[in-house]
Structure 1
Amino acid sequence: MFLTPDGKPFWGGTYFPREARYGRPGFVQVLEAVDKAWREKKESVNQSADGLTTHVEARLAGSHAKAVLDSDTLAKLANGIDGMIDRELGGLRGAPKFPNAPFMQSLWLSWLRDSTAAHRDAVLLSLEKMLAGGIYDHVGGGLSRYSTDAEWLVPHFEKMLYDNAQLVRLCNWAYASTGKELFRLRIEETIAWLLREMRVEGGAFAASLDADSEGEEGLFYTWSKDEVELALDDESALFFHYFTLADPHGWEGKPIIRQTEAQQTQSVIDRQQLVPLKEKLLAARAQRIRPGRDGKALTDWNGLMIAALAEAGRSLGRSDWIVAAAAAFAAIAAAGRDNRLSHSMLGAKRLFPALSSDYAAMTNAAVSLFEATGNPDYIDRAGNFIEQLDLWHRDSDKTGYYLTASNSTDVPIRIRGDVDEAIPSATGQIIEAMVRLSSLTRDLELWEKAWTIAEHAAGRAEHQPYGQAGIVNACALALEPLKLVIVDKPENPRLVPVANRNPDPRRVDIVVPVGSATNLPALPGGVLPPTAEPGAWLCTGQVCLPVVTEAEELEGLLRRR
């Protein structure tokens, strides 16, 4: 887009070839024409900019009537997504293939609520195919941005923080549901990559790694047969038993490491044999020139990863991951000023003001850290983030939030942030954050606010649900929020491990030590749970099931569909 000095767009396009061809002007010609128009027809250009700005602002105003929240909306969306799934290769049919976490979450929520096994299986198939393909880094862990082909084989080798946060979360749910060690191993490998290569000073996480090094895409990550044999010597035959070097048609680089389905299955069984091989390859790769790293820490992306780390740490009993999540949270929170979050930080530099997605993602991160640690300070921080969101982003009708702050000076139009990109939309994250926090705190005012926001967002999402799956998913959480209150012995818990190994994105968990004073978060209706003996109460909305006291009984309850 070409903009006037005050930021209004007046002309643009999606693709300009370097040289004129196929009836398209070359980019230099485009620049010359725009320059001439600006110098010779400035008044006309400014009128065009004003008209275009007014038109776009009207289209993005989101003035649709609110909708009644309906459980059928999620089912309809999930069924539509299911119809687009590639039943052989996973993901959506065709190429390129993106992980598309909001769609995967729609299918998973449908499975949890309605026991639609086909929707669960679509997610599991997609994950398994991704994790066997070249889009996954089989040497160092972590997922690339997308696959250029339909088989998850040739990736765009860029690694994004948000993709890997969502991969960890999806694999955590998949492991809890199936017990397949593949998902646990890939979580461990991906988090090992994160902590090894993506931490910046202070403990937060960098945004991304570039796709190319030495001017060639994928050079850092690809291997010739000779390079593998040089690194592994006598053990190279063992490597080729578990991995394949693929050299697909049209790919001009070195071969890409991938696995067949049989190799993937066998490598999980024989995983201990592969540890020293991967360590040697990783050491050899470390001698190469690394891709560049975008070292800025983006607040919303960090929020996603902090929540994923905290949740996976609970599920897999990895307190070190929870510690890493807490350190990243502290770093992002400390980067703020005047009680406001920054949008990003790079060394000593800070970019203000934050976006609504930043406050929402950090609220969800705070809730997940509270569940993992029991530290009530995280609930206080979450409440403060919502206060700042209200102060700087809420619309005048109190029916929703703008993506940018009211005092932002660098945007010509304030949009709501309804549309998903590679991550759920800002609006979807806001609804999820408010539902989760209000469930924990029994803040009825916050709950009513979340419901109002959800109704109006649902009205807007009716017109393009596939582009706003994050809103539909969040509205499904608002319709059926689950809350689990557990009283257990801290020194020898029976019930807490059951909850930890059965994560559910619809549920928030509160752990109360046996014998503690009953001034802790209460059950719906203000009922305080007795704390003399271990017990667990599972509540949906304002209705709780009878207390459960045995681990096996709680396991059955949490796995009930």
Structure 2
Amino acid sequence: MLLPEKNLLGEQASPYLLQHRDNPVHWRPWSREALDEARELNRPILLSVGYAACHWCHVMAHECFEDNEVAELMNSLFVNIKVDREERPDIDQIYMTALSAMGEQGGWPLTMFLTPEAKPFWGGTYFPKRSRYGRPGFIDVLKAVHSAWQTKEDELLRSADTLSIHVRTHLAPMQGTTSNEVPLRALAEKIRAVFDPQLGGLRGAPKFPNAPFLDLLWLNWLENGAESDRDTVLLTLRSMLAGGIYDHVGGGLARYSVDAQWLVPHFEKMLYDNAQLIRLCSYAYGGTHDRLFRVRIEDTVKWLLREMTVEGGGFASSLDADSEGEEGKFYLWTRAEIEDVLGVGDARELLAIYDLANPEEWEGNPILHRRRHPEVLDDSSEQRLRTLLDRLMAAREARTRPGRDDKVLVDWNGLAIAAIAVAGRQFARPEWIEAAARAFRFVLESMEEGRLPHSIRGEKRLFPALSSDYAAMISAAIALYGATHDDSYVDQARQWLDKLDAWYLDDAGSGYFLTASDSADTPMRIRGDMDDPIPSATAQIVTALVHLAAVSGSHELYQHGVRVSEAALARAQNQAYGQLGIICAAALAQRPMKLLINDPAGETFIPVANQIPDPRRVDIIVGLQENAAERDAGVKIDRSTAGAWLCTGQICLPPIHNADSLAATLRTPHQSTNSR
């Protein structure tokens, strides 16, 4: 049965798809029905993938998809499918991999042409309507692809078959081999060699936060005492937090900077970037006590709670780069505007520390940054600056706000919940822990038959979830357990693991797919090994398994986590840079850490552990009775005296009965290496 000859996006939940509901293009959402229509008509599929905060997606939409001439061609020649990459990262990953295999640089909007069987045969990213920027015009592209389909269909089908085999081999490799060789130190040396020695981050432009790279460097510092790796992470964070990529007025990090100095942001703000920023700054503060990290955590959490929290407590996905048709307009200031809000004297005081930059080729108003004064001043001075910035923020509220993509993505929310819970512990902020718990309940209440959705918006849910959703929420549960000592979070994590095993585990029992076994519209099941700006689904699963095993005292679960990590590690050997998350997770699996604490008053050891978070470690508060975690560790805890027991793998240090000794132990990376 053919679908109606009209745009079918009007009933979708995704704000990105709804942005295109009035296009003259006969868009279909990705569905079995749309794929069946292409087969019935024997027409190629034109697949367009983007997301709500994507600037160039908006540009192509205005130039092409809102244009009647372009729409007429698309409607007559293709079955046109729109995909929100955040709702369907499985679809995006398949076709982005295909584009890369064609030798093209990936990005969004992703524009792919598929056979009626949904196999890719040609593609690109952004196309203007008419040829410019050195790019072919979209009208010419549509005509050329149609002509090729009419005259060379057999050749295109063969090419699509070959390309699909490549994609499947790349994204869904067979099981069979395992590895326990974690190249942590070697990869850290290679990464550090390509980092900018003055400003951190990868050399050149654009500059992205690249959290998986920073995670690996930080872990190598913890595991192997590589001070240069620690310093590289700290340099990168400090440079980002001083640059224009950070919103000094309202808090929060933009997705990337278009230059090599962290100065000119691409202004969209993503939940996942800021969740990972909070997490990394928590590690950095725990290791350095540099107040810069505390201040930026506080500002970023405030921004999340103020601007990104939806009704019910979940966190929205992103804020757009554009407002009133201009990129960054909401965030930019002229000196005259600042003087108008603050007065000349107060403006001079603010701009003695902050600067307004007009870099070459930047056409907007100046960008506020703090690169000349990146260090935090004394408390009184910083509070005064914050007062001035708050006045700017209040004035900024009168501007037209960027659009907010208010769908709640479960895996991104898991990252945010865990990060906020850890920061809440670290800085004794119970209101943050409660905000994390509220978001957790929001996700919990969205389940049906015990299964998670991937996306939530209002009353609409997108089922089934991805394996990354379960992994991220298991880790969120463990983080909240650490913050509250409430065993119900561990119980919920076990229930989610049961669903993960039931719907995502492969036949060999040594790995997981990204999509559920009952996902009806997926062209191929992929493993989810590849990192995005966040660690891959596989990396998150291994981490969740290892941490849940530690907190629950299940040696059987730990052994399963090791099997999964070793299989994933073998798959990652040929493309380690794209799978750094797996390398980190495998290192955690080889030598997991847990800290058993007997601190009845909660005033001696628990505050120390809270203040020094460690990606390798879970903390367990022992009760009056022996529990499974201590039995698994082989520790006999003397409950008559307060103390702490740090265990790495199956080896535990002697009991620690002094808070200063515990702090020194937790801050010393060599301590774990000495217990190998």
Cα drift, residue 532 of structure 1? 2.4
- Aligned letter for 1:357? S
How far apart are 1:49 and its partner, in Å?
3.8
Does residue 449 of structure 1 match 2:560? yes
Aligned to 2:227: 117
Q: Distance in 1 between the 2:540 and 2:438 partners?
A: 22
Which residue type is aligned with residue 84 of structure 1?
V
Q: Which amino acid aligns with 2:655?
A: V
Aligned residue for 1:326? 437
- Tell me the residue number matched to 2:245: 135
Give the equivalent residue in structure 1 for 2:528: 417
Q: Is the 8 A contact 2:238 2:374 kept in 1?
A: no
Q: Of 293, 302, 327, which aligns to 2:413?
A: 302
- The aligned residue for residue 542 of structure 1 is 650
8 Å CA contact 2:175, 2:508 repeated in 1: no
Partner of 2:582: 471
Amino acid at match of 2:142: L
Report deviation, 1:517: 2.9
Contact 1:242–1:266 (8 Å) recurs in 2: no
Distance in 2, Cα, partners of 1:22 & 1:205:
37
Question: CA offsets, 1:238-283, max 9 Å, x none?
Answer: 1111110111110000000001343544376721111221111110
User: CA deviation digits over 1:85-122, x for unaligned, max 9?
Assistant: 11111111100000000000111011111111110000
- Shift in alpha-carbon separation, 1:269–1:110, aligned structure 2, 3 A: farther
Please give the per-residue CA displacement for 1:332-377, whole angstroms capped at 9, x wherever unaligned. 1211111110001011110011001111111111111111111111
Structure 1 residue ranges without an equivalent (≥5): none
Aligned to 1:7: 118
List per-residue Cα deviations over 1:396-427 (Å, max 9, x = no partner). Answer: 12221111111112221111111111000111
Q: Which amino acid aligns with 2:235?
A: L
Amino acid at match of 1:161: L
* Selected match of 1:364 from 462, 475, 498: 475
Write the mapping of 1:244-263 to structure 2, written as runs, cut at 5 A. Answer: 244-262=355-373
Deviates more, 1:329-338 or 1:142-151: 329-338
Identity percentage over the alignment?
53
Aligned 8 A contact 2:291 2:376 in 1: no
Q: Is the 8 A contact 2:554 2:628 kept in 1?
A: no
Alignment partner for residue 269 of structure 2, among 137, 140, 159?
Answer: 159
Which residue number corresponds to residue 530 of structure 1?
A: 638
Q: Aligned partner of 1:552: which letter?
A: D
Alpha-carbon distance, 1:58 to partner: 2.9
Match of 2:488 in 1: 377
Tell me what 1:285 maps to.
396
Aligned match for 1:213, one of 309, 312, 323? 323
The answer as to whether partners of 1:241 and 1:263 remain within 8 angstroms in 2 is no
Distance 2:133 2:243 in 1: 35
Aligned residues: 557
Residue ranges of structure 2 left out of the alignment (5+ in a row): 1-111, 670-676
Find the counterpart in structure 1 of residue 569 from structure 2: 458
Q: Which amino acid aligns with 2:263?
A: L
One-letter amino acid matched to 2:642: P
Distance (whole Å) between structure 2 residues aligned to residue 100 and residue 62 of structure 1: 25
In the alignment, is the contact (CA less than 8 A) between 2:415 and 2:476 conserved in 1? yes
Contact 1:439–1:481, Cα closer than 8 Å, also in 2: yes
| Residue 338 (structure 2) pairs with residue 228 (structure 1) | yes
| Partner residue, 1:433 | 544
**Which sits farther off after the overlay, 448-457 or 287-296?**
448-457
Question: Counterpart in 2 of 1:398?
Answer: 509
CA distance in structure 1 between the aligned counterparts of 2:542 and 2:609, rounded to whole angstroms: 24
Is 80-89 or 32-41 further displaced after alignment? 32-41
In 2, distance between residues paired with 1:355 and 1:559? Answer: 36
- Partner residue of 1:146 out of 256, 276, 279: 256
User: Which moved further from structure 2: 463-472 or 19-28?
Assistant: 19-28
State the match for 2:625 in structure 1.
517
Shift in Å, 1:130 = 0.4
Q: Do 2:252 and 2:300's aligned partners in 1 also have CA atoms closer than 8 Å?
A: yes
Contact 1:64 1:459 in 2 (8 A): no
Residue 205 of structure 2 is aligned to residue 101 of structure 1: no
CA distance in 1 between partners of 2:385 and 2:133 (Å): 51
Provide the aligned C-alpha RMSD in A.
1.9
Alignment check: 8 A CA contact 2:171 2:528 kept: no
Using the TM superposition, give the Cα deviation of residue 557 of structure 1 relative to its aligned residue in structure 2, in angstroms: 1.5
- What is the letter of the counterpart of residue 446 of structure 1? L
Indicate the residue corresponding to 1:496 in structure 2: 606
Larger deviation, residues 43-52 vs 380-389: 43-52
SS at match of 1:536: strand
Alpha-carbon distance in structure 1 between the residues aligned to 2:301 and 2:135: 46
Residues 417/276 of structure 1: CA separation in 2 closer, same or farther (3 Å cut): same
Moved more, 164-173 or 410-419: 410-419
CA distance in 1, matches of 2:198, 2:116: 51
**What is the distance in 2 between the residues matched to 1:150 and 1:23?**
24
SS of aligned partner of 1:522: helix
Deviations along 1:140-164, one digit per CA (max 9) or x if unpaired, are 0000000000000000000000000
Cα deviation, 1:448-473, whole Å, max 9, x if unaligned, reads: 11111111111111101111100001
Structure 2 Cα separation of the partners of residues 109 and 3 of structure 1: 41
> Contact conserved, 1:367 with 1:437, CA < 8 A, in 2?
yes
Cα distance in 2, alignment partners of residues 197 and 56 from structure 1: 39
1:141·1:190 contact (CA, 8 Å) conserved in 2? yes
Q: Which deviates further from its counterpart, 58-67 or 540-549?
A: 58-67
User: Does the 8 A contact of 1:242 with 1:264 survive in 2?
Assistant: no
TM-score norm. by structure 1 comes to: 0.95
Determine helix, strand or coil for the equivalent of 2:541. Answer: helix
State yes or no: 1:202 paired with 2:293.
no
1:194-251 Cα deviation digits (max 9, x unpaired): 0000000110000000001000000000001111001111311111111101111100
Q: 2:451 aligns with which of 333, 336, 340?
A: 340
Which residue number in structure 1 is paired with residue 68 of structure 2?
none
- Whether contact under 8 Å (1:243, 1:263) holds in the other structure is no
SS of residue matched to 1:410? coil
Match of 1:183 among 264, 284, 293: 293
C-alpha distance in 1 between matches for 2:492 and 2:229: 36
Report the secondary structure of 2:341's partner residue.
helix
Secondary structure at the counterpart of residue 139 of structure 2: helix
